[in-house]
Structures are given as C-alpha cells and as structure tokens.
Chain A
C-alpha cells in the first residue's frame, strides 16, 4: 500500500524532470511539455496533501491549476505557432532579440 511519502516523492521526481527539461531543451514544444509536467507534479502534491489532511482545499486548488494550465497552453501554443511561421524554427534560442 503506497503511503503519502511515495506520492510526494513521485511529485518531486516529475517536477525535477520538468525543471531540468526547461533548462536543457531548446524546442519550444518540448519546453512547453516540461512546464506541463511541473504543473502536474504540483497538482499531484496538492492532491496528496489534501488527502492526507482530509481537506478539500488542495483538490480545488488542483482544479484551478488545470484551468490555468489549459488557458496557458492555448495562448502559448498560438505564440509558438506564430513564431514558427515567421522564423521557420521552434528553437527558443533563436528568439533572442530582446536583450541588452
């Protein structure tokens, strides 16, 4: 029977994978997926603690995160599409005009 610590460990693992992905990958789509991974890792932790404390607030918060994530995907994908159309590249390193 897996206890709460297993869920939290899984959540931490997923978050780390996502964070490392954001730092090391260049493809905007992959970056995006890594961000989703981190959000869902957070969701998992929220649900775990809600269950542990018998408090529904955590679960409600997880729904909020999902809604925000969905909205973010809509906007983000549209931006990535437009960038890809104009530059024929989905690499985030190519979009580096806004700098010193």
Chain B
C-alpha cells in the first residue's frame, strides 16, 4: 500500500460523497407525501452531485504523486470498547476511486432511467399511490448508493461491514419493492437469508482479525499479515471468501441472485448487476495482502470463480425469462472476476477492469431488457418476443452493442477485459493452468451462445407475440441513459485496458512478466474461435425462433432448467432439516417446557386449594392450633433444657 497524502482541496470533502445520497435518502423516506411530486428529482440530483464530486476528486487524486496516491479522513470515533478502537474513517485511494465513479456514474444513469420506468411500472394491488411508490423507490435507491459508498470508502473492515449490511438491507427492500406480490416478497426474504450466511462468515473474519492483530483498520491489518500463521490466514481468507460469495451470488451461495430479478428492472441493473453484487470482488481485492499470502487460499478463490462461471453460463443457456438469463449471466461474469482476483498479482487489476466493463454493459443489458418489457406489456418470456429490432431501434442498437461487448468481440469492452483474464488463467503454472484456463475458455464460448440466443430470440426471427401487442420504443428519459451506457461500453474497454492497470499499480503493485503455457496471442485466437463458434451456433439455432413450450430435453438441459438443482440441494440439505429441527423444538417447547411451567402452576394451585380448607372460620380450631403451637414451643424448650438434644 502506498503512503498517504495530505487531504487538501476537494479531497478534504470525501465525506460529502456519502453524506449527499444519505441526506437525500433521509429526506425522501421521512418527508412523507409532500415529497411525492419532486422526490425522484432530488433522488437523481443527489447521485448526480455525488458523481460530479467524485469526478473532481478523481482528477485531484490523479494529480498526486503515484506513490502517495491515497488520502484518509478520520471523521469521528465510531466505537471504542476496551482495546478495540474503530474510527469512522474514509479512505480514498485508486481502488475506491474507480468504485466511486462506477457507483455514482452508472447509478446516476439508472436513476434517470428509473424515472421513466416507474412512470409505467406494473400496477399493484396496494393502496399506495404512484407518487408515493416512486418516492419510496428513490429513497431506497439513494439509501443503497449511500451504503455502497460507505462500503467502498471505509478505511476499516467494520465500516466496510456497515456498508455491506446497508446494501443488503437496500437490496432486500428493493427486491421486495412490490411487496404485495408473493413471489417478490419471498425473493426478498431469500436474498436476505442467503446473504446472512455469507455475512456470518464476514463478521467472524472481523472477530478473528481483532483477535490476531488487535485492529480492524486496513493499514494495521495488512501490516500484521506477515505475523500470522498460514492456518490463521487460511481460515481468515475462507471466512472472507464466504462473505464475498454470499454478496456476489457465487457458488455455493448463488441461488438468491436470479430470484432477486423479482424487483423492478432498474434495481436489477444497478444493485444486482453493476454494483452491489461486485462487492465480493471488492472485498477480495481490498484484502489482497491476505489472499496473496496463502497459495491454498488463492486456489480456493480461483476454483469458486471457475465453478461459478460455468454454472452460471450453463444455466443461462436454458432459461427463457429475459431477466433470469441476464441474472445467470451476471453470476457467470462475477465468476470471471473471482477467477481473476484469485489468480493474484496483476490479475487483481484485470478482475477490476472486467468489473467496470461489466458494470457498463450489464447495466445496459438490464435497462434494455426493461425497455423491451415496457414495450411488450411486461412480458419477460423470450419465446414470446421476436422481430423487435424494427420497433425498438434504440433499444436494439444499445442492447446489440452490450451483447457484442459481453461475448468479447473487439473492439468492445468485454474483449479487453475478459481476454486477459483467460490468458492469466492459462498463466497459472502446472495442470491447474490448463484446468482453469480451459474452464474460462469454455465459459466464454457458452457466454457467446446464450447471449446470442437471448439477442436473436428477442430482436430477430419471426414474431411470436401474444395477441394484440403493439411494441413501442421507450421515451427519451429511458433511451438516453441506454445510449450513454452504450457509449461507455464501446469506449470503456480500450480506455480501461490501457490505463486502469497503471492506475491501480499503487494498490496492487507492479505487473510481473507472464510465463504462461500459451502466449497471449494464442489465447486470444483460441478465445475468438470459441466465441465465434458459440455465437454463430446460437444464431443458427435460434434464427427461426423457438418452440413456445419447453420441449422435452436431455439430462443436461433438464438439470440446467432446474438451476443445476441448486435450489433442490438447498432444500434437501438445509430447508428440510431446518423444518425438522423447528418441529422438534416446537414439540419440546409445547410438551416439555410448557409442561414444566404449567405443571408447577397446577401443583401450586391444587395444593393451595386444599390447604386453604384449614381456614374454617371457627374460633375453636384457631385456638386449638395456637395451643398446639404453644405446646410445641414449650416442649422444645423443656427438651433443650433437659439436654435431650445435647
């Protein structure tokens, strides 16, 4: 990590990046109906302001000397307990800067798009007015942006965790935005619960860090890595990885992400494609001194990434819901990022380049999907589209560019971001290089296939619409963000591949010389070959449309349609034993614990009902008991005096 610089000029106002969206969220969520009319404008303006501020700070940061390119700002003591002292401190370094620009830049475009999207959002059976729903949406959206900025700007693990939980909350609220729909409410809960599993790993990692190095601040932790045993490092890294897989929808916690598509499409674009789900990649990249210090750990991360990118790509080939295909594609692409950050060294930067490129083209794809859905009366089944390019020309063009970008056609961004990752995977020494490189290569071919299938079935081929549909292009408030994202998709790749590696050098160190199995030229040629095979194959297969009902298929396709049985495994391994456990606990509670308490009460009640019969109301019986008592006392006195008990 490089030295810190003095926080001067704009860089002294890093806290404003978080404060602006947070204040806007507070206003929107607390102001009530009086903000219904202008709430969405405030929501967009706050994120736009944060973007401009971030851009200014980025410029100032770039002016600093390369070895002192980071500023830290301590705001106040967040909590101090015993030896633990956590400051609310923000760290603005090259890594945080690119995230800030991605979150606020893409976030701003999606905010603007959402204004148009929500104007025609599917109506709901709640009593909420459209204006209130829109205000609530932008309140949550701004809350998300604020939490995400805390996540990437925090200078210690605890603050990162605060943002981590904040984005989880915003994600839950937005997935279940149409809460009167059972599917959406359930999906929100599923996302929240599966994220909890990962979060438990993350918080345990923080505990372990405190126990080992006595601080949770990044600088202190990374300085203490050298003193940790390899076992501790392994456990620590695995716990962090568990947290990262939960948030990023990676194997084995991938099942929640596709269900999260129940939320409004701008949410899918911003939270579940471009930014929040990449938090896991950020966590690993930020913790790179920990992950780089243990080879086993790196292998585990790479394996998770490789497995997930194949899982996502295979399932993506079999889905018919336009948003689900994109969701599985997100899972798969984040798998590439995990693969890259697991490889270590310069590949950290490659993973982040892919993250940025993915942020652009996947946001474009989701927003395009939202535009298609809006034009087709909220139809999401790609078997019911076809021939739409004539009716939605802008959506077609932007979606097409994003499609070419994600499958990695030069000179679009995906080519510059994905190709080096595949090459880096082949650089890994020994047979693992062949294994992971092969997986990444296969994934690239599958990506080309399923994205081509999606594109062709939606925009080309025969019309397979339901009766009476009149597809129409979206208004400018939606198409302009699409166009801007497409511009980013085209321009970003080349720009980033040339400059981002250098930009991130202060964070990750210099790039070592490649010593690979294959030269980069060979890898590029191979990749282009499989991409073209996948793409042309997909186009040829689906050029003439597809059957409207799912045809019976072989075991692989059936498994892929069932999400490779991920949900079934979860149900069998966790849900069912959980139900049994709950039922057993209810039984023990009802019969055992309640039995003890109720039995005790019944015994006391019954006993006292009998004992109270002693109160007869007759003076003579009271006199008798007094006499007996007196005799007893006198008797005892005499006995003691006589020494019978001596």
Contacts and interface: CB of A to CB of B under 8 A. Distances in A.
Interface of A: 19, 22-24, 26, 31, 92-93, 95-100
Interface of B: 612-613, 615-620, 623-624, 627
B627 A96 contact: no
B615 A100 contact: yes
A1 B525 CA distance: 142
Contacts of B627: 19, 23
A61 B627 CA distance: 22
A98 B620 contact: no
21 contacts: A19-B627, A22-B623, A23-B620, A23-B623, A23-B627, A26-B620, A31-B619, A92-B618, A92-B619, A92-B620, A93-B618, A93-B619, A93-B620, A95-B619, A96-B616, A96-B617, A99-B615, A99-B616, A99-B617, A100-B612, A100-B617
| From B615, B620, B624, residue with most partner A Cβ within 10 Å | B620
A99 B613 CA distance: 8
Nearest to A28: B619
A98 B618 CA distance: 9
A26 B619 CA distance: 9
B608 to A, nearest CB: 10
A96 B618 contact: yes
Contacts of B617: 96-100
A93 B623 CA distance: 13
Contacts of A96: 616-618
Contacts, number: 30
**Residue of B612, B613, B616, B623 with most partner-chain A CB within 10 A:** B623
A24 B624 CA distance: 10
A100 B618 contact: no
Contacts of A23: 620, 623-624, 627
Nearest to A35: B623
Nearest to B630: A19
A79 to B, nearest CB: 12
A92 B617 CA distance: 10
Contacts of B619: 31, 92-93, 95
B614 to A, nearest CB: 8
A99 B612 CA distance: 9
Contacts of A97: 617
A22 B617 CA distance: 15
Nearest to A99: B617
Contacts of B624: 23
A16 to B, nearest CB: 11
Contacts of A19: 627
Nearest to B614: A100
Nearest to A19: B627
B609 to A, nearest CB: 9
B633 to A, nearest CB: 15
Contacts of A92: 618-620
Q: Which of A19, A24, A26 has the most C-beta atoms of chain B within 10 angstroms of its own C-beta?
A: A19
Contacts of B623: 22-23
A92 B613 CA distance: 19
Nearest to B626: A22
Contacts of B616: 96, 99-100
Contacts of A95: 619
Contacts of B615: 99-100
Nearest to A34: B623
A43 to B, nearest CB: 17
Contact of B613 (A26, A31, A100): A100
Given A23-B620, A23-B624, 7 more contacts: A22-B620, A31-B619, A92-B619, A93-B618, A95-B619, A97-B617, A100-B617
Contacts of A100: 612-613, 615-617
A27 to B, nearest CB: 12
Contacts of B620: 22-24, 26, 92-93
A82 B616 CA distance: 22
Nearest to A26: B620
